[in-house]
């Protein structure tokens, strides 16, 4: 399988064990998923579609892509732009973020329809998120949605994490409407119930799943923190309990790694409930480390 993730990778400052010290890395929701997918399925060709600058930190980011086994052939280098930066703050395992992304080249990633079409043509599964949509202007957003719609029409599988981030949108109504437009071009939708309940007033995870099926998705997996994961696949519904964790260090990228395991399993023909259990185990490892990209125990799927 050939996998393409579309979105923004940022420079990440993550706290270390030493008080006041931070580690510089590179992360971002769709990139994190690509990184974890490359870790657990090295047989899958993983590529990333984004835009960066031509400065030193942009070059270091591209080097990080290559070192992670992620193909950067579809990364655009834009002069007079750079990459966004975020800093993670932790409070008892829960994270909050401070962002600096005004000059982020990724905001212009969808301005070339031909580049989008070519990148999607090289993929079997295309993955994007609500953050991917949020960072774009209206015209670029429509360009991306059109390209995704066309890719799906010719047999590409489209996967989408709504990843609701109201601070990135000019108003909540725009976010709510655009997320559903993203779902309408997608086969697989991977929402988180806490966010969905707040912004769509879903009564329970089943309501979230039903809403995305109504939008056109065939597979919906609703993450719900420590509570059971709800799913619908081709009209079949079910739940999968989440294994208990004794402690949580940092929840950064828990959902991103979960998504990687879901797509890896589905590509391999694993039944969806088993995919979900493996995804929970993977996310459970990720929250035991700090930062977005956490080394994995290679035997975690055998637990």
Q: To the nearest whole number, what is the mean pLDDT of the chain?
A: 94
Residue 201, pLDDT > 90, answer: yes
d(C-alpha 9, C-alpha 101), whole Å: 11
Of the listed 137, 161, 256, 302, which one is catalytic? 256
d(C-alpha 52, C-alpha 85), whole Å: 12
Q: What are the structure tokens assigned to 94, written together?
A: 């829960």
pLDDT, tens digit, 9 for 90 and up, residues 29-72: 999 999 999 999 999 999 999 999 999 999 999 999 999 999 99
pLDDT, tens digit, 9 for 90 and up, residues 106-125: 999 999 999 999 999 999 99
d(C-alpha 68, C-alpha 203), whole Å: 40
Q: Is the pTM of this model over 0.75?
A: yes
Residue 175, pLDDT > 90, answer: yes
pLDDT, tens digit, 9 for 90 and up, residues 212-257: 999 999 999 999 999 999 999 999 999 999 999 888 888 889 999 9
pLDDT, tens digit, 9 for 90 and up, residues 248-283: 888 889 999 999 999 999 999 999 999 999 999 999
Question: Is 122 designated active site?
Answer: no
Question: What's the CATH number of domain 2-294, 3.40.50.2020, 3.40.1190.20, 3.30.1490.20, 3.40.50.720?
Answer: 3.40.1190.20
Q: Which single residue is written with the structure tokens 């994007």?
A: 128
Whole-number pLDDT of residue 90: 73
Using left for φ > 0, alpha for ψ between -120 and 50, and beta otherwise, residue 217 falls in beta
Residue 11's nearest CA partner among 56, 68, 76, 67 is 56
Instruction: Specify whether the CB–CB gap between 264 and 44 falls below 8 A.
Output: yes
């Amino acid at each position: 399988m050939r996998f393409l993730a579309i979105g923004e990778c940022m420079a990440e400052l993550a706290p270390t064990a030493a008080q006041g010290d931070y580690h510089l890395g590179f992360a971002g929701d769709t990139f994190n998923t690509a990184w974890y997918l490359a870790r657990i399925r090295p047989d899958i060709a993983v590529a990333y579609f984004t835009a960066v600058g031509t400065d030193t930190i942009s070059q270091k980011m591209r080097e990080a892509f290559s070192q992670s086994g992620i193909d950067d052939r579809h990364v655009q280098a834009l002069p007079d732009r750079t990459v966004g930066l975020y800093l993670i703050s932790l409070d008892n395992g829960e994270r909050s973020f401070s962002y600096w992304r005004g000059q982020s080249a990724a905001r212009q990633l969808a301005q070339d329809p031909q580049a989008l079409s070519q990148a999607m043509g090289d993929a079997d599964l295309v993955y994007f998120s609500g953050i991917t949509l949020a960072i774009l202007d209206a015209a670029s957003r429509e360009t991306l949605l059109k390209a995704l719609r066309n890719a799906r029409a010719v047999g590409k599988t489209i996967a989408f994490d709504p990843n609701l981030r109201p601070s990135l949108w000019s108003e909540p109504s725009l976010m709510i409407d655009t997320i559903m437009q993203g779902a309408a071009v997608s086969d697989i939708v991977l929402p988180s119930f806490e966010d969905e309940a707040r912004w769509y007033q879903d009564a329970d995870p089943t309501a979230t799943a039903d809403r995305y099926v109504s939008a056109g998705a065939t597979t919906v997996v609703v993450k719900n923190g420590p509570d059971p994961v709800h799913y619908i696949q081709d009209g079949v519904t079910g739940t999968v309990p989440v294994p208990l964790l004794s402690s949580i260090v940092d929840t950064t990228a828990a959902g991103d790694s979960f998504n990687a395991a879901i797509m890896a399993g589905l590509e391999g023909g694993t039944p969806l409930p088993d995919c979900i259990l493996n995804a929970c185990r993977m996310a459970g490892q990720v929250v035991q480390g700090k930062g977005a990209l956490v080394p994995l125990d290679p035997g975690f799927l055998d637990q």
